[in-house]
Amino acid sequence: MEETIEGYVDHIIFRNQDNGYTVMVVVTEDEELTCVGSFQYMNEGETIKAFGHYTEHPSYGRQFVMSSYEVIVPQDSQAMERYLASGAVKGIGAALAARIVRRFKEDTLRIMEEEPERLAEVKGISLRKAQEISDQIVEKSDMRKAMMFLQQYGISLALGGKIYKQYGPQMYHVLKENPYQMAEDVEGIGFKIADEIAGRIGILPDSDYRIRSGLLYILTQASAEGHVYLPKKLLLRRASALLCVEESYMEKHIMDLAIERKVVIKEIMPGEEEQEQIVYASQFYQVELHVAQMLKELDLKEEINQDKLKLQLDELESAEEITLDEKQRQAVMQAASNGLLVVTGGPGTGKTTTINAIIRYFEQQNEEILLAAPTGRAAKRMAETTGYEAKTIHRLLELSGMPENQTKKGIHFERNAQNPLEADVIIIDEMSMVDIFLMHALLSAIMPGTRLILVGDVNQLPSVGAGSVLKDIILSGQFAVVELTKIFRQASQSDIVVNAHKINKGIPVTLDNKSMDFFFLKRYDANVIIRVLIALIQNKLPKFVNATPYEIQVLTPMRKGLLGVERLNMVLQQYLNPPDNQKREKEHRQGLFREGDKVMQIKNNYQTEWEIRGIGGIRIEKGVGVFNGDTGIIREINLFAETLTVEFEERRFVEYPFRQLDELELAYAITIHKSQGSEYPAVVIPLLNGPKMLMNRNLLYTAVTRARKCVTLVGDEKIFWEMEENQMEQSRYTTLDLRLKEIGLQQEF
Ligand SMILES: Nc1ncnc2c1ncn2[C@@H]1O[C@H](COP(=O)(O)OP(=O)(O)OP(=O)(O)O)[C@@H](O)[C@H]1O
């Protein structure tokens, strides 16, 4: 039941500057009451009328939770003095407040707003200071009016604060004319929220702004599925479902958006004769085109004396005591004579060995070499196997924190076209994980003349972000590509590798468990499967692969369902990190986080700060950026400060305010998609059923190749066979290959 209280803010106990969450003591006629809520503009000394409800907090007792409030103009001179003395107005302290109120009594506030020059009548206030005080009062009252206006439409004060900060007094105009503008300008407002606000304000469902904003929203959303464009038919179908507006009515809006250069329309030929119109959000089109141009510019050919090169290779082989196979030799030779080279191959085909040989070759030429990979883990592995420093691509490009208001406009790297990387050769590993945006940032920082070598396994699932860059580069046929096919890792050593290659080729895998590292446990009931998973993680596997239960990863195809990530995490949490008096908890969404839980960051956050802590928790290094797929352990939940601290790899600690917890998820089980680019000592994969589209060869291959020492599949072997057979990949709408071919053709003429 909503209740109302009236009183003045005696003092503020706690305030979170980021989200405005405030704990304060309000003195009403009857009591001193603790009140909580999110407010950007609350000041000590203000008299307020607040709406909300009472609760009983387990540690802090009775509280009033405020959902909204109004500031009441202080009526009596005592309230007025209290307000002015609170520090709410810069330049007025207690003594001056007393003098002002003594002079103007109940009329004080009116005089401040309407005849501010009269403040100068008070000793110690010059005319200029009087004007400054008046400006502050006016601004505060404008802001308050704005907040009250926004509250009518159910806009929270936290969001309201952001809207006011962006537009100032222009806010009324934006809301009335085109609230969808906010989805482009204001962090925290997307199409959905803007649409809700628009609905309350009375904007009609078929308004032009609504339809255009909805169309752009669908295109941006599609990038979250990996697409760079959508076929026009599909765009219209999705937009119609979202907006409940006829498809035919929206056609002209796509044209209008194209004229305004917000979208790009192109034609492609998916089949033999029919043409199909496709639509890109402009920035996606530009990024893809620019990537294609930059790739082409990098690909400078160099005439190399082949005989001399062969001799050099022979020397290199004897110095390194290795015999490269034909393909590996080719890779080094191609690296020497092309500005851009792709090396691809499955597990154990000698990619790393080839990278090493390439490094040695360029070392001999006294060339400067840089190594990088898309994830921290992949970079670490690259450094270990090459003995060279390897960084994440983000670090290589010197990601710098960005001001808050720029987040809608993308991220900023210190290394870019104006300040390119200084190197002769750049080698990128795990290229299948690089999306079109990261590729764009990388290429922007590389000057033609620098060699770029891209190494990866093209049969892995494509990147989480939009595009299928590696595959498209290969498909375009425009660059030197060396495909490594021979498996070097000894067959007797690793069935994981042998079976991965079989899966990739569609050769049936023997599931007889006569292996040392590849097992299939046949079970046909979801709950039985879960029991087996728990036994494997708790008892069997840690000893078998010499790891902790935390290092053993459950990988599952789906999010939903009996064996989906969500349910598995709830059950596994119960068994692997059960409730304990010593462990604090924080409820979140449907479940909860507990100290000791294994968690994963589920979106890239380029701003979040981390610190590396040494002995005694002392900070020894700090930086920014936590990325999609980073996993860690919850070390502390602080219910008072409302923070949750996670330790990620390499002792990187990150403190999450509770409002940022949407970026975290339990990670006892994760989807196979999320596991890309990571390796674990052992993986356990439940397989029972799932949608045909998803359950394909690619997915099985990626899951199996995540394991270093042991793969255990638990479930129905029929599903395994079906996945092996199913070559249908989830297609991605991308056109990097087309753009590259087009540029290739232009260059020929
Ligand atoms: N030409 C070669 N002669 C002998 N052994 C080789 C050769 N090339 C690679 N190997 C060996 O084969 C194994 C796998 O090679 P490498 O690690 O380079 O492959 P990879 O493709 O990087 O594998 P993964 O993707 O699994 O990391 C290694 O033990 C390596 O020493």
User: Is the model more confident about 630 or about 372?
Assistant: 372
User: Is the model more confident about 624 or about 446?
Assistant: 446
Which residue's CA is minimally distant from atom 26 of ligand 1? 347
Residue type, 409: K
Give the C-alpha separation, 571 to 321, whole Å.
51
Contact 443, 291 (CB under 8 A): yes
Q: Which of 136-145, 283-292, 404-413, 604-613 has the lowest mean pLDDT?
A: 404-413
ipTM of the assembly?
0.96
Ligand 1 atom closest to residue 354's alpha carbon, by position in its atom list: 18
Region 711-739: mean pLDDT is 91
Question: How deeply is 342 buried, as exposed, middle or buried, from its count of CB atoms within 10 A (0-12, 13-18, 19+)?
Answer: buried
Region 466-490: mean pLDDT is 92
Q: What angle do CA 537, 572, 627 make, to 5 degrees?
A: 90
| Residue 729 confidence (pLDDT) | 72
Reduced to 3 states, what is the DSSP secondary structure of residue 302? coil
Cβ neighbours of 117 (radius 10 Å): 11
Give the C-alpha separation, 271 to 231, whole Å.
13
Region 579-602: mean pLDDT is 92
**173-184, pLDDT tens digit by residue?**
888 888 888 888
Cα(351) to centroid(ligand 1), Å: 6
| Residue 40 confidence (pLDDT) | 61
Cβ neighbours of 573 (radius 10 Å): 21
Q: Residue 716: which region, alpha, beta or left (left: phi > 0; alpha: psi -120 to 50)?
A: beta
Which residue's CA is minimally distant from atom 18 of ligand 1? 350
**451-465, pLDDT tens digit by residue?**
999 999 998 888 888
pLDDT at 152 over 80: no
Q: Which of 353, 356, 501 should be mutated for ligand 1, with most atoms under 8 A from CB?
A: 353
Give the C-alpha separation, 572 to 598, whole Å.
10
Give the H/E segment covering residue 69: strand 61-71
348 marked as binding residue: yes
Cα(356) to centroid(ligand 1), Å: 10
Ligand 1 atom closest to residue 322's alpha carbon, by position in its atom list: 3
pLDDT at 22 over 90: no
Q: What is the 3-state secondary structure (H, E, C) of 544-604?
A: HHCCCHHHEEEEECCCCCCCCHHHHHHHHHHHHCCCCCCCCEEEECCEEEECCCEEEECCC
Q: What is the 3-state secondary structure (H, E, C) of 196-207?
A: HHHHHHCCCCCC
| Residue 70 confidence (pLDDT) | 79
Contact 499, 518 (CB under 8 A): yes
Ligand 1 atom closest to residue 345's alpha carbon, by position in its atom list: 21
Pairing of strands 652-657, 480-484: unpaired
**272-321, pLDDT tens digit by residue?**
667 889 999 999 999 999 999 999 999 998 888 999 999 999 999 999 89
Ligand 1 atom closest to residue 497's alpha carbon, by position in its atom list: 26
Cα(490) to centroid(ligand 1), Å: 9
Q: Which of 352, 385, 495, 680 should be mutated for ligand 1, with most atoms under 8 A from CB?
A: 352
Per-residue pLDDT band for 408 (boundaries 50, 70, 90) equals very low
Strand partners, 265: 279
Residue type, 438: L
Highest mean pLDDT among 106-110, 589-593, 600-604, 707-711: 707-711
What is the C-alpha end-to-end distance of the chain, expressed in Å? 76
Cα(476) to centroid(ligand 1), Å: 28
Cα(710) to centroid(ligand 1), Å: 18
| Residue 251 confidence (pLDDT) | 92
Cα(346) to centroid(ligand 1), Å: 10
pLDDT at 18 over 70: no
Q: Nearest 5°: phi and psi at 154?
A: 75, 20
**349-397, pLDDT tens digit by residue?**
999 999 999 999 999 999 999 999 998 778 888 998 899 999 989 889 9
Cα(352) to centroid(ligand 1), Å: 6
Give the C-alpha separation, 610 to 259, whole Å.
44
pLDDT at 427 over 90: yes
| Residue 616 confidence (pLDDT) | 78
User: Is the model more confident about 251 or about 82?
Assistant: 251
What distances in angstroms separate CA 349 from CA 140, 189, 324, 353, 481, one per listed residue?
A: 67, 47, 11, 9, 15
pLDDT at 410 over 70: no
351 marked as binding residue: yes
349 marked as binding residue: yes
Protein residues with CB under 6 Å of any ligand 1 atom = 322-325, 328, 345, 347-353, 488-489
**479-525, pLDDT tens digit by residue?**
999 999 988 876 557 899 999 999 988 999 989 888 889 999 999 99
